[in-house]
Amino acid sequence: MRKFSIIVMCGIFLPVIMALTTFKRPKQVEILKIEAKPITIIEVKPEFEITEVNYKGHEDFLEAIGHRESRNRYHIVNKYGYMGKYQFGKSTLKGLGFKVTQDEFLNSPYIQEKAMQELLIHNRKKLDKWICKYEGKNLHGILITESGVLAAAHLAGAGNVRKFFRKGYEFKDGFGTKMTTYMVQFSGYNLDL
């Protein structure tokens, strides 16, 4: 009987408890229906043609001027006595402080490369004023660049390059090569000095 009274009580109290308690019903989720639309692919074309830029550096400059002077041959001496890859004269080497014999010079690519670097630095100091003043400008029909000026100084000497800046002077070497051809041929290199 005890079970019966528990069941009766549950039967009476349960509806009362349920009536007093408010159950929150979960909100109904509204499902949005999205229609799939086709994707349009747009091809973007650049307004200008993209070209690959090859910057010419210091090593490229040395290779190019060495090729022009001697076909990059370290052991060559020309008919005027100019020696090596860059065709150095004895007086230029002496002026730069190199006290070596012709054989020592011709048999040492290291000394030749060192001499060329020293000459470039020396000529850069001598011509700095002119390079700063005219670089990127046309003078006497020639576009002036640091590498072109230093190549011309290698061929003709810094003094003759200064004469070009002041008076338009044109130097030619023993083979008839004009200083301005070096200014043009070796322009536009980025040198590490």
Q: Full-prediction pTM beyond 0.75?
A: no
**pLDDT(4) > 80:** no
**For the segment 58-117, what is each residue's pLDDT rounded down to a tens digit?**
999 999 999 999 999 999 999 999 999 999 999 999 999 999 999 999 999 999 999 999
d(CA 132, CA 58): 19
Contacts of 42 (CB under 8 A, 6+ apart): none
- Residue 32: predicted pLDDT: 56
Neighbours of 188 (CB within 10 A): 14
**For the segment 114-141, what is each residue's pLDDT rounded down to a tens digit?**
999 999 999 999 999 999 999 999 998 9
- Residue 39: predicted pLDDT: 62
**For the segment 150-187, what is each residue's pLDDT rounded down to a tens digit?**
999 999 999 999 999 999 999 999 999 999 999 999 99
- Residue 183: predicted pLDDT: 95
**CA-angle at 112, arms to 58 and 98, nearest 5°:** 120
d(CA 51, CA 175): 38
**pLDDT(53) > 50:** no
HSE, CB side, 13 Å, CA atoms: give it for residue 17.
6
pLDDT band, very low/low/confident/very high, at 48 (cuts 50, 70, 90): very low
For 49, list phi and psi in degrees, rounded to 5: -75, 130
List residues bridging with 136 in a β-sheet.
Answer: none
**For the segment 154-163, what is each residue's pLDDT rounded down to a tens digit?**
999 999 999 9
Q: Which amino acid is at 143?
A: L
CA dihedral 101, 102, 104, 108 (to 10 degrees): 140
Top pLDDT among 184 and 26 is at 184
Q: Report the b/e string of 25-44 with b at 16+ CB within 10 A.
A: eeeeeeeeeeeeeeeeeeee
**pLDDT(6) > 80:** no
Question: CATH assignment of 58-185?
Answer: 1.10.530.10
Lowest-confidence segment of 21-35, 50-64, 174-188 by average pLDDT: 21-35
Burial class (CB within 10 angstroms; exposed 0-12, middle 13-18, buried 19+) of 48: exposed
**CA-angle at 160, arms to 155 and 164, nearest 5°:** 110
- Residue 51: predicted pLDDT: 44
